[in-house]
């Protein structure tokens, strides 16, 4: 495919040792030859490709030096976009990077749109759509586990599984066509039996992928974890302990935390989106009351709730209200302040929250925190995830398409078992094949492609 030549800054904004300006398109080398010179006045095209060349970016008209750089030319098709690419490595910082990008644009390039480099890699057939989506997941990965999952997808792990399922569906469609073209009774009977076996195989493999969705959501977005309890029970101290920094203000004054505080943290490979909330209590303070209502509303979306009780004081109606709020949620109960003389027993906590995991803690002394971290890991992963051995679905778009494909194949299986006309079965099988094709981009529409790449940063 033929495109114009695009350029963008490929490194994050701010101060750094190196900044990179990336140029892709058939005029990439021509543009850089106008603005790049070595000490002996040679151009980049005078040097061997794929080797960094030392020189300067200069203004073509005046010869004024803009920055001291290393430039490299990579010839198509063996590049990220399968087009000619030039990368200019300059001094990191807002000014040198911006000035070099401006001079590149003045000499024939266009500013790239968000994700346009990766979009070209997809449109030029270097990667499929699921691999392209893995690029942004790789950049946003918050733990080693989420990075490994994204890299597996970038390497084609999910694509391979989807393509194998689509191959089975193609065989089913071929058998259906043969049955339609040669409608002898014995062929039709064999077709129905074969379709049922293949259909059940497809269903099993789709369900196996869907079984990984919850784990994938945690790895991609983080486990949404709400810390809940009445005022002064130790919620902010717990958040600071988990984060290993003083993120939340801790005082003896009830109602110190009035708004929601959110942070990401990696606990033994699990990315947690941890949320410290206002203490649950009746209050006349308008701001604090809003915080309490927001804390309650967050429970609806939470994957996990960590509930704290102060065992050095008698249980109150506020404690009972919290227990009622979380009784149907996935909960870890922390009985805090065990370093003080106990007033509330473990049996009393078990009575108001039966069946929930209870961990005794003294957050101020760091007791019980290691047990909490181990418990979180056990609850959701039951041990180490062997990422390299599994294909995990992390993308909401993929989940939606897999659910559609599952419905399609279930309807096809039902039609086969009922002995429905073979052409009716063909419709569901083909829909299943097309929905799976949207994951890899084989059957996807242009507007969906545009929407996917809008989420990317400009330089990727």
Binding-site entries for GTP = 232-237, 251-257, 276-279
Q: In what order do the strands lie in the sheet with 304-310?
A: 261-267, 270-276, 223-228, 304-310, 331-336, 357-360
The distance of Cα 202 from the centroid of its chain, to the nearest Å, equals 26
Cα dihedral across residues 336, 338, 343, 348: positive or negative:
positive
Binding residues for Mg(2+): 236, 257
Query: Residue 327: left if φ>0, alpha if ψ -120 to 50, beta else—which one?
Result: alpha
Kindly give the pairing relationship between strand 85-91 and strand 18-24. antiparallel
Task: Give me the residue label for tokens 């929905």.
Answer: 435
Residue ranges of the binding site = 22, 87, 126, 232-237, 251-257, 276-279, 460
Q: What tokens were used for 333? A: 């109960």
Task: Calculate helix-pair angle for 396-418, 185-210, nearest 10 degrees.
Answer: 150
Residues placed in the known binding site for K(+): 232, 251, 253, 256
Beta bridge partners of 91: 18
- Residues at the binding site for (6S)-5-formyl-5,6,7,8-tetrahydrofolate are 22, 87, 126, 460
Describe the crossing of helices 185-210 and 157-181 by its angle, rounded to 10 degrees. 160
CA angle 302, 304, 306 (to 5 degrees): 115
Closest CA to 263 of 366, 142, 135: 142
**How many DSSP H helices and E strands does the chain contain?**
16, 13
Residue 417 contacts residue 424 (beta carbons within 8 Å): no
Which position has the token pair 């110190």?
256
Residues in the chain: 460
The first and second tokens of residue 131, run together, are 């691999």
Query: What DSSP element (H or E) covers 336?
Result: strand 331-336
Maximum CA extent, the chain: 85
């Amino acid at each position: 495919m033929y495109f114009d030549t695009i350029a963008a800054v490929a490194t994050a904004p701010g101060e750094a040792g190196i900044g990179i300006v990336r140029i892709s398109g058939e005029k990439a080398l021509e543009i850089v030859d106008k603005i790049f010179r070595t000490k002996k006045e040679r151009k980049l095209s005078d040097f061997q490709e794929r080797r960094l060349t030392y020189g300067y970016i200069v203004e073509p008209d005046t010869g004024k030096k803009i920055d001291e750089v290393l430039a490299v030319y990579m010839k198509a098709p063996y590049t990220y976009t399968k087009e000619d690419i030039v990368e200019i490595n300059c001094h990191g910082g807002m000014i040198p990077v911006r000035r070099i990008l401006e001079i590149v644009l003045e000499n024939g390039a266009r500013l790239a749109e968000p994700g346009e480099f990766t979009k070209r890699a997809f449109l030029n057939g270097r990667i499929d759509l699921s691999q392209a989506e893995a690029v942004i997941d790789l950049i946003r990965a918050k733990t080693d586990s989420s990075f490994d999952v994204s890299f597996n997808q970038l390497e084609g792990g999910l694509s391979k599984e989807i393509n194998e399922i689509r191959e089975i569906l193609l065989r089913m469609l071929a058998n259906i066509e043969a049955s339609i073209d040669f409608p002898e009774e014995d062929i039709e009977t064999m077709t129905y039996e074969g379709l049922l076996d293949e259909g059940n195989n497809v269903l099993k493999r789709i369900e196996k992928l869907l079984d990984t969705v919850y784990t994938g959501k945690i790895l991609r977005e983080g486990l949404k974890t709400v810390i809940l309890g009445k005022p002064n029970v130790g919620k902010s101290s717990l958040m600071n302990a988990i984060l290993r920094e003083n993120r939340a203000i801790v005082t003896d004054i009830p109602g110190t935390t009035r708004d929601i505080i959110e942070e990401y943290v990696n606990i033994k490979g699990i990315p947690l989106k941890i949320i410290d909330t206002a203490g649950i209590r009746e209050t006349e303070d308008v701001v604090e009351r809003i915080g309490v209502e927001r804390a309650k509303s967050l429970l609806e979306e939470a994957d996990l709730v960590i509930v704290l009780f102060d065992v050095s004081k008698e249980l109150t109606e506020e404690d009972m209200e919290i227990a009622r709020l979380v009784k149907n949620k996935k909960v870890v109960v922390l009985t805090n302040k065990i370093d003080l003389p106990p007033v509330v027993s473990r049996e009393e906590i078990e009575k108001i929250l039966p069946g929930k995991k209870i961990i005794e803690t003294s957050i101020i002394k760091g007791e019980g925190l290691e047990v909490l971290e181990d418990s979180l890991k056990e609850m959701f992963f039951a041990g180490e995830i062997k990422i390299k051995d599994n294909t995990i679905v992390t993308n909401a778009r993929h989940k939606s398409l897999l659910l559609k494909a599952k419905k399609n194949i279930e309807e096809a299986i039902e039609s086969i078992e009922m002995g429905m006309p073979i052409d009716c079965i063909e419709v569901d099988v083909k829909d299943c094949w097309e929905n799976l094709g949207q994951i890899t981009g084989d059957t996807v529409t242009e507007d969906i492609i545009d929407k996917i790449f809008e989420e990317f940063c400009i330089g990727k």
